[in-house]
Chain A
Amino acid sequence: MNMTVDDLFPYLKATGYKITSPQSPDYNCAAWAAHEDDRCWWPDPAGIGYWPESARREENVEAFMQVFTALGYAPCDEYELDPGFEKIAIFVDSSGAPTQW
């Protein structure tokens, strides 16, 4: 049975979020951060996901930083919302491989 957004992200409930579009396999969070919603971005070894050719096709923070720096993002120290700036956060697993945005 499909889990709902509330099931998947229980802490979202308190934020009063609203769903603005249906779930889709057409794009993922990396694509969304790159302002695309029609292809999945990922440097998987099987070559399934899109990944800019100028960047290293590796699943580590450095490769992701390389791609998103080229898109205009820069490392920052604060987690808080900053008016006028778009911020993304790269979540990694215990091996250091990016998993979520």
Chain B
Amino acid sequence: MTPLRIVLGYVAVAMVWILVTDRLVELLALSPSSRGTAHAIKAAIYVVGTAALLYLLVRSQHVEQRVRDEALRTVLDSMPDAVLVVDRDSRVVDVNRAAVELLGARDREELLLPIRELVQRIHLRHADGRRLDLGRAAVRRVVAGQRVTGYEALIRRFDARELFISISSSPVRPHPTLPTRLAVAVVRDISEVRLFEEMREDFLATAAHEFKTPLAVVKAYAQLMHKRGQGDATALEVIARQIDRMTRMVQQLLDVSRFRVGGAELSRERFDLPGLVAEVAGVVRPDADGRRIFIAPAPPTAVLADRERIGQVVASLLENAVRFSPRGGDVEAEITRRDTEAVVSVRDHGLGIPHERQARVFERFYRAHAGTDQDYGGLGIGLDVSREIVARHGGRIWFESAPGEGSTFSFSLPLAPEEA
């Protein structure tokens, strides 16, 4: 029944009631005083009747609303993922059953806290165990009503069990009939996924580790033969160079697993960045197949960083520049200063990166040219590791690329304190 029909039905019934009862009073031909009483009774019945009608209507509305609420609650509680609703005052105002179970709480009410308190209560930390800076963390973005997708973190449940979780959140659209809600967050237990990932990383680390002993044996024997003047000197040199290349790849595999699993410690030392770039270029040149690597003259620029790791980043960028310049062409490196940062840029005149693939370049195992006619090999981890290393130093890494014209990859590092 539409509201209009109900109203029209009510009007019809009321009219009939008025007409019929008026007529009845007339027909009874009562005295004027008793006629007044009859009209009063008639009006009273009318009021009671409509009041009863109103009551039924309101009650059915109420029941309907409650059924709807319950249905919604049942759906929410049947969800396999934990749901938390946060209001404008950054308070958790609603949670579903999965949330109570996931966090190991006794009941729903235990979780209805200001988000800051809840975060402290569950010891929310970065996935690698580092303390979370609430001012900068994803929680703040959740509270600010921004969209967050798959943010991974470590928590301690109410029953002290450690758990890996993934948090996604989005703002709740304003709705006139709803109280002001800010955000709804979905939390997922990814401990098993993490466990599997860790097993894979462990395997990677073990495999890489196991490769090193045979590499050591081959390298040492090649050196021994070289020393004793046995065998073809050129052949032995190539063997030595290829062993070094393989060692670098094995090192990369180890780095991937190491950074992923829990953060390698960085050693910090003060060194000259242009000096390091020149040194690394010297190592890469023999493999550059005739392509020239130029370094633009730069004044001494000191940074406080892990020299070996930063060298690895520079090597990755230079090797990529060489690899993706199949038709030759020079590679140019440049070290500049911008405010309190030093920026290293490596420019090539090679293939460039197709526009549709640019967004994924820093992803692990992603190789922008894989599966095309122009596959130049590589493991697809150099840039992933580089990004991790640079980020841990508080720097950034980025690129500009024009397909067919070449790419420029750059990274920044904070200058050593007294330089900035």
Partners in one complex: no
